[in-house]
């Protein structure tokens, strides 16, 4: 008769504990879950050495983006010292104002992201279409004339990466830091110099 009584007492204790502390347990479990998700995200997060911007009238093809990413990662310097080189391709799609079939909210979000990129210096190398150069040529970020850009199809690396059609007509150049807060930031100027070396190799083929 003692065993059933002990079981009943244990069950009552568990029931009482759950009655008074169930919200504490649930909140604790939720917080633990969030911590696990956060740690997993942090461990899986890629620390990019370079961000390279593409300001285009349309989304560049995935295979072309991968070819460019592969080229830059194979030729770039490990800036953060983690033993690996990671390059992120940022494609800002800004079609002509009269273009049809685009979500206005998506376009506005893309332009906002690009504006933040230019303000923060996330990307130093910019591939840009002619019509988007006309949009931003007075922003003080890019060379004043399109002739000061390199045409992608004329770059030495264009042949090496298989002549990707969706970037053939783009132009590429370094952005300017002149007159910005980044101009005197040693970390940013170091990043700029590394990007400039990488772009020079892309254009000329000379290491």
Instruction: Supply the Cα-derived Rg of the chain in whole angstroms.
Output: 26
> Which two three-digit tokens encode residue 7?
């079981």
Residue 1 has what pLDDT? Answer: 45
Q: How far apart are CA 43 and CA 63, in angstroms?
A: 27
Report the share of the chain in percent with pLDDT over 70: 78
Q: How far apart are CA 181 and CA 121, in angstroms?
A: 10
The residues near 194 (Cβ < 8 Å, ≥ 6 apart) are 50, 76, 77, 79
Residue 81 has what pLDDT? Answer: 87
Residue 158 has what pLDDT? Answer: 95
Spans of the chain below 70 pLDDT: 1-10, 14-15, 17-20, 24-25, 31-46, 97-102
The CA dihedral of 62, 55, 114, 77, to the nearest 10 degrees, is 70
Residue 177 has what pLDDT? Answer: 92
Q: How far apart are CA 131 and CA 68, in angstroms?
A: 22
Residue 94 has what pLDDT? Answer: 87
H or E stretch covering 16: helix 2-44
CB 121 within 8 A of CB 177: yes
Q: Is the overall model pTM greater than 0.85, yes or no?
A: no
């Amino acid at each position: 008769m003692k065993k059933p009584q002990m079981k009943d007492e244990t069950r009552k204790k568990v029931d009482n504990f759950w009655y008074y502390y169930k919200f504490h347990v649930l909140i604790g479990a939720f917080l633990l879950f969030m911590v696990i998700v956060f740690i997993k995200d942090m461990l899986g997060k890629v620390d990019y050495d370079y961000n390279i911007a593409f300001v285009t009238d349309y989304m560049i093809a995935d295979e072309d983006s991968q070819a460019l990413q592969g080229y830059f990662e194979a030729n770039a310097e490990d800036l953060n010292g983690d033993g690996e080189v990671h390059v992120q391709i940022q494609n800002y799609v800004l079609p002509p104002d009269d273009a049809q079939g685009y979500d206005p909210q998506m376009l506005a979000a893309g332009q906002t992201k690009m504006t933040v990129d230019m303000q923060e210096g996330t990307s130093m190398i910019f591939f840009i279409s002619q019509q988007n150069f006309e949009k931003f040529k007075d922003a003080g970020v890019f060379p004043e004339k399109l002739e000061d850009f390199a045409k992608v199809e004329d770059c030495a690396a264009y042949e090496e990466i298989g002549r990707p059609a969706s970037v053939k007509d783009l132009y590429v150049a370094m952005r300017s830091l002149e007159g910005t807060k980044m101009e005197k930031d040693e970390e940013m100027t170091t990043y700029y110099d590394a990007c400039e070396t990488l772009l020079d190799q892309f254009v000329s083929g000379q290491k």
